[in-house]
Amino acid sequence: MPKKLRNRNENFVAVDVGGTKIMAVVGTSGGTIVGRSRCSTPRDGDVKEVFHAIELAVGAAIKRAGLGAQDVAAIAVGIPGVVDYENGRILKTPNMPLTQAPLTEFLRERFGVPIVLDNDCNLGALGEAWMGAGRHAHSLFGIFVGTGIGSGFVQKRKLWRGARYAAGEIGHMVMGIGGPKCGCGNSGCLEAYASRTAVEREIREAVARGEATVLNELLGRDLSVIRSRALRAALDAKDALVTRVLEQVGHFLGAACLSVRHLLDPQRIILGGGVMEACGDFLMPRIRAALDADQMRSATDADELCPSRLGDYAVVVGGIALAARLCGPNPLKKYPDAELRILRSSGSSRG
């Protein structure tokens, strides 16, 4: 853990830097969101543009909370990649241009407060452990399926980060030897089969082979970006191609959850992220079927597999917990029964 700081201020900023959007909130150590803001992640943007978008989102959230930077005790940022949490360094971001980018220095200079970085899915799991689907659980493994696939492991209210901060990279667990190339450079990773990026690739390849899909109408024949809600709409329209591709996603996620069970035996496996939010009712039964078919275990516990409860807010809730921890006691221990509250006055969710 980075050096502990003393600060009586109880407002913390948490940022979720995602592949498609950046969300910043101001929250208290008791779990109340008092300011929030959201913007698109600059697509194909360079480091400067992404930094600028993060700066704007943080500034807008603080403003909407009716505060200034001097009222904030610390800022926590969730990054989609491997992060040296002790030293605030981004080591590798396979799906974004932030590898080795000096975000800690940049934000400290702009806002003049302590900055702490962590892997976004670590924070998502921590958020679910505090106020989400994993509260009061002995241990939980959170898997987040979006542009990429990440995960975090929390046991006894603490994150397991590994010896080199790279634990929980389930997206890069090899599911198929010699399989498709992954954004990380390796082949056959879970992410290369079951992320939204993999789904986009499968769909584009099938369309190039001449397969029909309702997505062509929905997206005006531009399949360069296929968001989760377009996949949802295609499922609702009983689109054969999208249904088939998502069936495969379900199989791969099911197999991954089965491996998690055998490796760690967490009390809960929690599934979240944009793809799960949009298509969870289609995917969850398929994932559960993989656990139910496990020959090593007779039955799946009723609450062993569950959807994220915090949805879009999982990462920032974990971020608030991390920032609060930097300045005081672990809020998961101090406020174990905290409920997420989002004040109406915290502002519109887009900005």
Residues that bind Zn ion (CB under 5 A): 172, 182, 184, 186, 189
Q: Which residues pair with 303 in a beta bridge?
A: none
Indicate the residue among 26 and 192 with the shorter CB distance to Zn ion: 192
Q: Give the helix/strand (H/E) hosting 265.
A: none
Q: How far is the CB of 1 from Zn ion (least distance, A)?
A: 28
Indicate the residue among 90 and 242 with the shorter CB distance to Zn ion: 90
Q: Which two tokens stand for residue 133?
A: 């689907």
Q: Which residues of 295-326 are buried (b: 16+ CB within 10 A; e: fewer)?
A: eeeeebeeebbbbbbbebbbbbbbbbbbbbbb
Cβ neighbours, 10 Å, residue 74:
26
Helices 240-264, 196-208: crossing angle, 10 deg rounding:
150
Q: How far is the CB of 255 from Zn ion (least distance, A)?
A: 16
Q: How far is the CB of 187 from Zn ion (least distance, A)?
A: 8
Q: What is the largest CA-CA distance in the chain?
A: 62
| CA 286 vs CA 152, 189, 231, 281: distances in Å | 22, 20, 17, 9
Q: How far is the CB of 191 from Zn ion (least distance, A)?
A: 5
Q: How far is the CB of 186 from Zn ion (least distance, A)?
A: 5
Q: How far is the CB of 152 from Zn ion (least distance, A)?
A: 17
Indicate the residue among 182 and 253 with the shorter CB distance to Zn ion: 182
Indicate the residue among 185 and 311 with the shorter CB distance to Zn ion: 185
Indicate the residue among 29 and 195 with the shorter CB distance to Zn ion: 195
Let me know: does 24 contact 13? Beta carbons within 8 Å.
Answer: yes
Indicate the residue among 189 and 271 with the shorter CB distance to Zn ion: 189
**Sheet containing 268-272, strands listed edge to edge, beginning at the edge strand earlier in sequence:** 158-159, 149-155, 139-145, 268-272, 305-307
Dist CA 152 CA 319 (whole Å): 13
Q: How far is the CB of 176 from Zn ion (least distance, A)?
A: 11
Indicate the residue among 149 and 323 with the shorter CB distance to Zn ion: 149
12's CB contacts (< 8 A; 6+ apart) are 26, 27, 28, 29, 72, 73, 74, 75, 76, 319, 320, 323, 324, 327
